[in-house]
Amino acid sequence: MIGFIDKKFKKMPGRYMAQCMLVILILIVILTFLDVVKETALIASLGATTFTIFTRPSSYMATSRNLLGGYAV
Complete DSSP assignment for the chain = --SSS-GGGGT-HHHHHHHHHHHHHHHHHHHHHHT-TT-HHHHHHHHHHHHHHHH-TTSGGGSHHHHHHHHH-
pLDDT attached to residue 28? 79
pTM over 0.85: no
Q: Report residue 39's pLDDT band, with 50, 70 and 90 as the boundaries.
A: low
pLDDT attached to residue 5? 67
Average the pLDDT over each of 7-16, 17-26, 32-41, 58-67 and give the range with the smallest value. 32-41
Q: Report residue 63's pLDDT band, with 50, 70 and 90 as the boundaries.
A: confident
